[in-house]
Amino acid sequence: MTAGWREFTGRHGIGVALFVGLGVGFWVLFLIALPQIAMFDFSLRHNLPRAELGGPNDVYTLSNYAAFFRTSGGQANWLDMGVLFKTIVAAVFVTIIDVLICYPIAYILAHSARGVAARLMVIGLIVPFWVNEILRAFAFRVIFGATGVINGVGMGMGLWDTPVDFIRADVALYSGLTYAYILLMIFPIYNAVEALDRNQIEAARDMGASWWRVHWRVVLPMAKPGIASGATMVFMLTAGALAAPQILGGPSNLWFTQVIYQWFNDAGDWQRGSAYATILLVSCMLFVMLAMRVFKVSIGAIGR
């Protein structure tokens, strides 16, 4: 740590080093740590009237967490636990789709596209994200709606006779979430693959390795930290998404963030909402750590 700080200071100067250090410290302390600590403290409190705050009834409790697992009648709270499980599974599904789509794009951008083609690819990836996320979600609802573009084209070509309900089938939701975070997957993979020496790929091809074997044995080991970094961001943001599930989700679809939103805003129970938000955060972190262990990727490798 000290050696790294000295190297950074020697390369960029003490002024830049202090600016970066203070900026990162402010970000971590005031925008991440303190809000999470405040939310955790809220989750351990009773939902009391304002007049009773600070009084004898204002004590710490685990009842908000217990309510996630059991209802007031003592029965298992399968509804909330099922919604959390479904949210995590859906986030994994979206992450896998993003990896499958973004890996070849990142590889082409790093090792195949040159000059104007590379610049056009980058522009084509970035410019659509100038549009607000909510507007893009509504655009997907228009595209996948009963009178939308896809149903219009499909019915016009005679592929189906009646409109397909892509909203109820969650096709629109998964498509919107996959598109929403695609850049967060492409650029980490691109940064990892770009560092790969092209001579290694050419050597593998000269030795008769097939296309898939070159990627499996040469490219993927190099890209694994980038894939892990992108997958972590996409998974966490997908599991914590609210706008897209609200706009694109079907009537029978409920995202866990919507449950949290209901406790905070509809029920006015910030303590229960904080507990549910903490449960979501801890569940996602544990899942990510488990996945990193399974795929043998360290945090240090992701940081590079």
Structural domains in the chain, sorted by start: 78-303 (1.10.3720.10)
Q: By three-state DSSP, how is residue 56 classified?
A: coil
* CB atoms inside a 10 Å sphere around CB 227: 24
Q: By three-state DSSP, how is residue 195 classified?
A: coil
Q: What is the pLDDT of residues 91-100, one digit of tens each?
A: 999 999 999 9
Q: What is the pLDDT of residue 1?
A: 54
Confidence of residue 11 (pLDDT cuts 50, 70, 90): confident
> Helix, strand, coil % (nearest 5) of the chain?
75, 0, 25
Structure tokens at 121: 């690819």
pLDDT score of 304 more than 70: no
Q: Which of 145, 106, 142 lies closest to 122 in space, CA to CA?
A: 106
Mean pLDDT value of segment 81-85: 95
pTM over 0.85: yes
pLDDT score of 58 more than 60: yes
Greater pLDDT, 269 or 208:
269
Q: What is the pLDDT of residues 102-143, one digit of tens each?
A: 999 999 998 887 888 888 888 988 988 888 889 999 999 999
**Which DSSP category does 245 fall into?**
H
Mean pLDDT value of segment 67-87: 92
Q: What is the pLDDT of residue 280?
A: 96
Greater pLDDT, 59 or 297:
59
What is d(CA 185, CA 265) in angstroms, rounded to the nearest whole number?
A: 32
